[in-house]
Amino acid sequence: MPRYGQSMTKHWTVPEKNGEFFSSFPISEAGDRIEENRSRLDLSSLSLGNMDGNSFRAHCREELVRLGCGVSGERQESINVQRIILSGHQPLLNHPGVWIKYFLLDRLALESNALAVNLEVDSNMAGPMAVPLPTRVDNLRIAREPLGTWTGEHALESLSVPSAGEWEDFTARARGHLASLPDKKILERMETLARIGSGIIEKDRGLSGFLARLRRGFEEPAKLGYLSLPLSHACGTRSFLRFFMMIAADAKRFASAYNSALEDYRKRHKLRYKANPFPDLRTGEGLCELPFWWIDEKGARHSVLSASTAKADSATGKFSLEFEGNGIWEVGRSATGEAVERLIQASVRIRPKALALTLFFRLFFCDLFLHGIGGGKYDETSDFIMREYFKVTPPHYLAASLTLYPELGISGLPDGEDERLQIRLREMKFKPEKFLDAIPDESKRREFMDILRVKNSLLGDSSVESRGKEFFRRIHEINETLYSFLEPARLETEQELAALRVREEEEKALRFREYPFFLFDPMRMAEIVKEC
């Protein structure tokens, strides 16, 4: 069942029910939003090198589509680039809430006569990868199996593909967990993934490329037609590096707009901590932090700073780029093109932080950006920067997500069962008269009734004098005595509650929404997108 977001992103929430799809506006309206974006985005006032913003956008689209065609093995002549829809995420073993975006990309592209592109965000940091899997020995639970042997935090693009032996070991362990489940189709999908991985593992040197190809192979039955574009490749283009140099040359003014956007977001969303949604760019003492990283040969990320030097406010002045831990470059404001070539020749890996990424691709590449809920929320800040710094009307973007659980052969708990048992235990103590039928022995029931009459007699005396401390002490004693008759019923209820606690642990595994995509049927995903 589709659920649509409200205009304020703070009201967007992850879908709660199995099969529930969220989108920030009805999917049927996407075509109109694309056309509105195309008609209202005017970048003519911007200047990047020797091009105005509109010319630069056209050049950027051509360069990146050509790159994506090369990565995906498509012929560029067969590609329609009049309209481009873009999404992006880390190329991991993602859950259906992320995976749904690839299917939605395909639908939107077909309906809008557009090109679908997925940005494989391989510049993000990745620690040891632990894949969550359902498993059942005595009870259902979540197991986490490692894929790969690296330690610490590294940019995905710098990590090596697992060896054939490591892949076989991972799939064997995963197979053991999934074989314990009643639905054998889940195990069959795991076998499909294992076969695809074994067939491509020698063809990729990098983990991110392997995982992207693994996902594409698993999606094959659905015939999704999007291009894959690794962010690391896109960041090596002259288009992206010109964007980087444009911001670096105007770092102080950009940092002011960037930090103002974050402060505005925090106020509207009532966030107390400066790290939410992202830390401010550092400024002061002539230095401005840029919204970019540089990645060293080991895959670690470092900040990039810009500092004005002589004639700082003049078009002929210079500024310096400081790559933390890797020296300082001096750049002439009128020679940023030369600096771009220098970056390419030196193989300096410049990568955007989150807001710089969406600013670049929304302004200079796509006609509609497809986010998840989290990305859609923080991209409000990109809209602010577009208005305040770039002086353009922000294009619409779409946010979408899905909650989907695998078929694990266990029924969910009835709603309110925990509360019902807790209330039952509490009422046994304070309203024991409600549980006369829980006393099976007839003689004990008569004794219980005799004591209950004393209680009712006391409660029936409404005189003021009778309602003092002695009254309440006596009622408490009677309730304690009546409660003792209910010992078997109390023990039975507590056992039910203990069993429920075990079931609740199973419920967490049953209703976990972050299982990897390969537990699910790609054709079912295609059907969900068709109906939303």
Give all strands (DSSP E) within 220-342, no chain letters.
227-230, 283-284, 287-295, 301-308, 318-323, 328-332
Burial 198-231 (b: 16+ CB within 10 A, else e): eebbeebebbbbbbbbbbbebbeebebebbbbbb
What contacts 481, CB < 8 A, 6 or more positions away? 451
Q: What's the confidence (pLDDT) of residue 313?
A: 47
Q: What's the confidence (pLDDT) of residue 315?
A: 52
Q: What's the confidence (pLDDT) of residue 462?
A: 67
162-167: long-range contacts, CB 8 A cutoff, minimum separation 24: 162/201, 162/207, 162/210, 163/201, 164/198, 164/201, 164/202, 167/194, 167/197, 167/198, 167/201
Q: What is the pTM of this model?
A: 0.84
At the second CATH level, the architecture of 2-126+222-239+355-408 is 3-Layer(aba) Sandwich (3.40)
What separation in angstroms does the CA of 191 have from each of 64, 141, 174, 177, 526? 35, 21, 10, 13, 21
Q: How much is the CA Rg of the chain, to the nearest whole Å? A: 31
Q: Any idea which residue has 């950009």 for tokens?
A: 254
Q: Structure tokens of 72? A: 């995906």
Residue 128 CA to residue 150 CA, distance in Å, equals 6
User: Which 3 state secondary structure label does DSSP give 429?
Assistant: helix
Start-to-end CA span in the chain (Å): 7
Nearest to 408 by CA among 321, 515, 322, 306: 515
Write out pLDDT tens, residues 265-320. 999 989 988 888 999 999 987 889 999 999 998 888 999 999 875 444 445 567 88
Give all strands (DSSP E) within 148-246, no chain letters.
154-155, 227-230
Q: What's the confidence (pLDDT) of residue 4?
A: 45
Q: How confident is the chain (532 residues) per 10-residue block, as mean pLDDT?
A: 54 90 94 95 88 94 91 69 93 96 96 95 85 90 88 85 93 96 94 96 85 96 94 96 93 95 93 91 89 91 80 60 79 79 92 97 97 94 96 96 87 75 91 90 91 87 68 88 91 87 81 95 96 88
What contacts 427, CB < 8 A, 6 or more positions away? 434, 435
Q: What angle do CA 161, 104, 291 make, to 5 degrees?
A: 60
Q: How long is the chain?
A: 532
Domain coordinates in residue numbering, the chain? 2-126+222-239+355-408, 129-210, 240-352, 417-510
